[in-house]
Amino acid sequence: MVMGPTHAMSGAAAGLAVATLLPATWGGPSSLAETFVWAGVCAGAALLPDLDHPQSTVARSFGVVSQLGSEGINTASAAFYGLTRTAKDGHRSDGHRTLTHTLLFAILLGAAVSALVTAFGKPAIIGTLFLTLGLAIRGLAGDWSKKQGWLAVTLSAALLSVLVWQAIPAETGSASLGLAVAFGCIVHCLGDGITKEGIPFLAPLVVVRGKRWWEFTLPSLIRIRADGPFEKVVLLPALTVITVALAVWAVPEFSATVEAALAGP
């Protein structure tokens, strides 16, 4: 799989790009603060699918709690695969890269977040921010978060979630947060889709050659090796530059100044 920092950075970049283009009437951010929160949620949600792997770094983000949750997700994913597979899909001993790596999961999770925020307001907003921002810290901080351990990630996520929840009011936050979570999960899947392993992105909705869990991959010549030289030397630095540029561009005063300068006298 693509590594955590790359997933998180791609989620942040994609989140900033969509946040600046998506109208508020469609669930997009309506302020600069919301834009950055939206990007942070996307960055964290871009790590969510890997919670189906109990041995992954992201599964240890919140200590034993996330570890147990990961075990449960893995078991549920394996059961779902077993219920929906065809004879050609074969047997699996675990649920990694099954349910959580699908478009169906992203849509259902986004809808669930929207429903929870609509029903419970502030507590659901803080809970969503805590989970996604914690995962974003784990991914974006890289080695720092690993060395400091799950407690530092948990405390940082708790502080951030309380500080920024007001940026997404309860009356408008349901659609915005739900979309950000769903979009982040999709970004994760697309990232894994460029690796040699591939992902079952359209499973179990689309059957191909008798398989519900067929894996989407790129042509072999343009696939990348996870944690390989291309990801470390090219992909992650490029995503970092793009994310910083999009963050600066999102500031209205800056973008207006640049547009005025380009327009000339």
What's the pLDDT tens digit per position in 36-60?
A: 888 999 999 999 999 999 988 788 8
Q: Is 7 helix (H, G, I), strand (E, B) or coil?
A: helix
Domain for residue 262, yes or no? no
Residue 13 and residue 35 in contact, taking contact as beta carbons nearer than 8 Å = no
Q: Domain range spanning residue 245? A: 4-255
One-character DSSP codes across 17-73: HHHHHS-GGGT--SSHHHHHHHHHHHHHHTTGGGGG-TTSSGGGTTTHHHHHHHHHH
- Asked if the peptide bond before residue 123 counts as cis, ω within 30 degrees of 0, the response is no
What's the pLDDT tens digit per position in 178-208?
A: 999 999 999 999 999 888 888 999 999 999 9
Residue 80 and residue 212 in contact, taking contact as beta carbons nearer than 8 Å = no
Residues 6+ apart with CB under 8 A from 153: 61, 62, 134, 137, 138, 141, 145
The domain total for the chain is 1
What's the pLDDT tens digit per position in 135-170?
A: 999 888 877 766 678 888 899 899 888 887 766 655
Domain for residue 196, yes or no? yes
Region 112-130 average pLDDT:
89
What is the rounded (10 degree) CA torsion for 41, 232, 49, 137? Answer: -40
Question: Assign residue 82 a region: left if phi > 0, alpha if psi is -120 to 50, beta otherwise?
Answer: alpha
Say how many C-beta atoms besides its own lie within 10 A of residue 196's C-beta. 12
Instruction: Show contacts of 123-129: CB within 8 Å, 24+ apart.
Output: 125/165, 125/168, 125/170, 125/173, 125/177, 126/161, 126/162, 126/165, 127/161, 128/41, 128/177, 128/181, 129/37, 129/41, 129/160, 129/161, 129/164, 129/165
Residue 218's alpha-carbon distances to 99, 186, 193, in angstroms, are 20, 16, 7
Is the pLDDT assigned to residue 2 strictly greater than 80? no
Which tokens go with 215? 């894996």
Domain for residue 136, yes or no? yes
Domain for residue 263, yes or no? no
Domain for residue 264, yes or no? no
pLDDT at 254: 61
Domain for residue 265, yes or no? no
With a threshold of 0.95, does the pTM exceed it?
Answer: no
Residue 99 and residue 191 in contact, taking contact as beta carbons nearer than 8 Å = no
Cα–Cα nearest to 15, from 251, 201, 230, 176: 176
